[in-house]
Amino acid sequence: MYLTYLQFCHPGSPFYEQRDTEGPDVLFPLHRAELPEGWAREIRSEWIMYSRADVPLPWQGWKIHVSATTANAEELLTAVSAHCFAARLPFKALSGMPTLRQRNSKYADRGGSGKFLTLYPPTEEALATALDALDALIGGHQGPTILSDLRFREGPLYVRYGAFVSRHRTDESGRRIECIEDPDGNLVPDERRPGFHPPSWAAVPEVLQESLRARSERRLGDFPYRVSRALHFSNGGGVYLATRPEAPGRTLLLKEARPHCGLDESGRDALVRLETERAALTDLAGLPGVPAVDAYVDGVEHKFLGRAYVEGRSLMDLALERNPFVSPGSPLTPGAYAEWARALVDQVADTVRRMHARGWVFGDLHPGNVIVDEEDRVHLIDFESASRDLDGYAQTMGVFGYRAPHGHLGRAVDHYALACMRIGLLLPMTRLLALGPDRAEDLCRVAGERFGVGAEYFAGVRGQLAPPEKGAASTPVTEGAVGVEERAARSEAFAAASTSVTERVVGAEEVEARPEVSAAASASVAERVGGAEGAEAPPETAAAAATPVAERAVEPEERAARPEDPAAAVVVPAPPAADALLVERLAESLRAWRSPERADRLFPGDVRQFLQPGGGLGLAYGAAGVLWALHRCGGEVDPADLDWLRRRVHAEPEIPVGFHSGLAGIAHATAALDPELAAYCRRRALEAAESAPDLSLGSGISGLGAHLLATGDLAGADRLAARLRAALPAEREQIAAGLLDGAAGLAVFARRAATALDDPAYARLAVELLDMEVTRFGFGPGATPVAAALPAFGTGLGSGALGLGLALHDEVRLSGEDRFAEPLSRITALAQHTTAAHNGLLNGRLGLVQFLLAAAPGTPASQQAVARALEEAAWYTAPLGPHRIALGDEALKLSLDLGTGLAGLVLTARSAAHGGCELPLWEEAR
């Protein structure tokens, strides 16, 4: 999800917003020009559609894609659109240059990379005519390779069979799957994976046969490497393990670069960056911790860099595994862990100092780019952001939480990252430094208390985080990186505490980022341990993701860029917890930042407001959840806000039926505020549920069924529970994992139905589903928890171990049996002694608090964990005018919603004060 968030980060707003699709600085000139007679234009978020009423589109067929670079896009758009207008050929084009850059950026979806224009010839004859004509017009122009298509002659024309008109189905977990129709009339997935894979029943047209033969003949006879497996793919190319035939016992790492793809903020593509990496490794040859170059070779249209493969594990993975406040199973005491971390950072600092002495800045330093071998020696990897500009280099890619803000140039970029590393290995919360370096004071203070380290551990951190004064040299990295003299001076930017949050909370367009936690944290647990549909990772990658963290040994090669930091970052002292958590703050902020004139949302919140039908209305991310939390906490709900919700629910044609993102949740939220609206939502949901394929708790029939049980509609709940049993796939492993979208949520409904209806069949189903989830998540007897399911790796109640724990607590509480007492106890102990990568209710530490208040509210360990989590949660707030609002998921923008933002924060503070869980569906369970 992390990359998705960046599409909704814009510098003009402190909140997540939809991309401007009509501004003069956004659209290509064609999209603002007068159309020829008979043509219609439809502006969508990324694509601009051009069609004619007298040229109906078939459902599917052979479509033409045109690839483009930022240099030739406007020329190609002019030529191709003129042909299409003249030939009466419907087409669509990307909206503007920002969208094109984003599509071709490093961590953009490989399936969509390079696609600039799409043409829809209605027949195979029209396909042949268009290809020949367009090849004469634009053939041979440069553009990224479109991996899912067959290239026509020399490009930039590509062809594949697929949908002309969007049709989709929803699977049992609520996931939307784009489809085409097979000869029997069934909707089947419209595959867009790399490689030319037309459906078996779609014969390749004659006009493509020559290109198909040419594709099969493109082979390299003298390629010096044999690839054994793929480690990672990005839009810029792959990373592989390989050997040379003459030395099969020596493992090498092979990095691939695709021309015109993987753009960074400066516009450099993957090929330019790979050449930079080769130059850096060559110049730095012989330095401890720098891998040796093997060869730089040509592939089929791509370049490859072979280098020594570094055996070991990333410092990021090791830190998350060994940090006793992240992984309670760590064998290290806090003090021993801190000493281990100090020794490794000292090694990294020494390597960086030696690099600087040889004239190179590393430029992308973070724990994921540090490999630790079996003898605890460090090795740096991924030199593609390195630079010879020791004083003026400005970062163009970097991990959010380790990337330096404006003002840090050259060596200061590496020094900033080293300071973040010292903090982040103890408390993985360095994203908060985007709010100003003084937030480090809180992090250092708490880290010192928890790990028993003194001020000497953090010596120099303050000076390395502060931007150097103009004309001053960067704070030096001494041998061992300790004892660095602190810089007393501060730039004016860090003294201007009144600067608006828009300048503090990051938000640049079309750039990529990754959190400082594991890369696995950006995907749902369903995709990591349940095998989600459509994943493009090779089997080895998928297996590695599901392997317990103690057993993984994959060298990370990925990185991402983060939105640019504001030019005027400011000091934002962390507020007292009581100041940030008052219901009065919520009510004031809601009044100040509501937007009743908008149709998509009333209150700013998570990006899911824009990604789900009716996303701005529901309980988790929409208006219903905010109003419910305000009412629950004793605040006064504005009748105008209820009126907005009422009007939008009636106007929105597609709202899921489920609880967290659907009609059932809206009914739950408005039961006391507007009983008439709640009854309407229930009636509408029951009607839609008759044919809804989504079985999940979050958006499907299990969520509706659980709500009906809470309202006393046992007959309606029984019908839905019977449907659930009948609709579950025979291969249970096909069911996603987790509470909101997966088997744990289905088990919650099944167990509650079994209790309310006294039906042992539903009880058996709940046990079956929970047994599967306990095994998946690694909480079975003798098993090691799957790292990706832990809060510190970015998953919470929604898709991680905490959600499973809540389902297990339901089972133990309602069944009166202790079958799941042991895994529940393990998850409870985990929650009592860990931290979370995110802050929100459904995906972070606020959900951790609610779980402990449900499962073990009175124990001293839970009370300490709750207090600790609420203190940390207050750090994730920032002032906006006179108000203080919570940072949402990914900490890139502010949010007011229940699932990720301020409403969840205030609700959880109240829950802690009252000593009980108030999570919706669990607020009455004691």
Residues designated as active site: 364
Can you name the residues that pair with 390 across neighbouring β-strands? none
**What's the sign of the alpha-carbon dihedral 691, 694, 696, 699?**
negative
E strands within 168-324?
168-170, 176-181, 187-189, 226-234, 237-244, 247-257, 293-298, 303-308, 313-314
Would you say how long the chain is, in residues? Answer: 926
Q: Alpha-carbon distance 336 to 346, whole Å? A: 15
- Position 143, amino acid: G
What are 659's two structure tokens? 């609880």
Can you name the residues that pair with 177 across neighbouring β-strands? 169
- Position 474, amino acid: S
391 contacts 409 by C-beta, under 8 angstroms: yes
Pick from 595, 557, 97: nearest CA to 369:
557
49 contacts 639 by C-beta, under 8 angstroms: no
Q: What backbone phi and psi angles, to 5 degrees, belong to 49?
A: -95, 140
What's the DSSP call for residue 716?
H
553 contacts 313 by C-beta, under 8 angstroms: yes
What's the DSSP call for residue 207?
G
Pick from 109, 133, 51: nearest CA to 234:
109
Q: Report the 10 Å Cβ neighbour count for 573.
A: 13
What are 134's two structure tokens? 């367009």
Q: What backbone phi and psi angles, to 5 degrees, belong to 326?
A: -115, -50
Q: Alpha-carbon distance 826 to 327, whole Å? A: 12
919 contacts 903 by C-beta, under 8 angstroms: no
Q: Report the 10 Å Cβ neighbour count for 131.
A: 23
Q: How many CA atoms lie within 13 A of 218 on its CB side?
A: 15
Is 480 exposed, middle or buried, given 0-12, 13-18 or 19+ CB atoms closer than 10 A? middle
The per-residue b/e assignment along 136-173, b for 16 or more CB within 10 angstroms, e otherwise, is: eebeebebbbbbbbbbbeebbbbbbbbbbeeeeebbbb
Q: Alpha-carbon distance 89 to 638, whole Å? A: 51
53 contacts 40 by C-beta, under 8 angstroms: yes
Give me the helix-helix angle, 701-711 and 714-727, nearest 10°: 160
Q: Alpha-carbon distance 345 to 332, whole Å? A: 17
Reduced to 3 states, what is the DSSP secondary structure of residue 842? coil
User: What's the order of all strands across the beta sheet hosting 168-170?
Assistant: 168-170, 176-181, 187-189
Pick from 726, 791, 738: nearest CA to 769:
738
Query: What element of type H or E holds 49?
Result: strand 47-52
Query: What element of type H or E holds 879?
Result: strand 877-880
Q: Report the 10 Å Cβ neighbour count for 811.
A: 26
Q: Report the 10 Å Cβ neighbour count for 409.
A: 19
Pick from 257, 262, 260, 268: nearest CA to 303:
257
**What's the sign of the alpha-carbon dihedral 367, 369, 373, 376?**
negative
Can you name the residues that pair with 344 across neighbouring β-strands? none
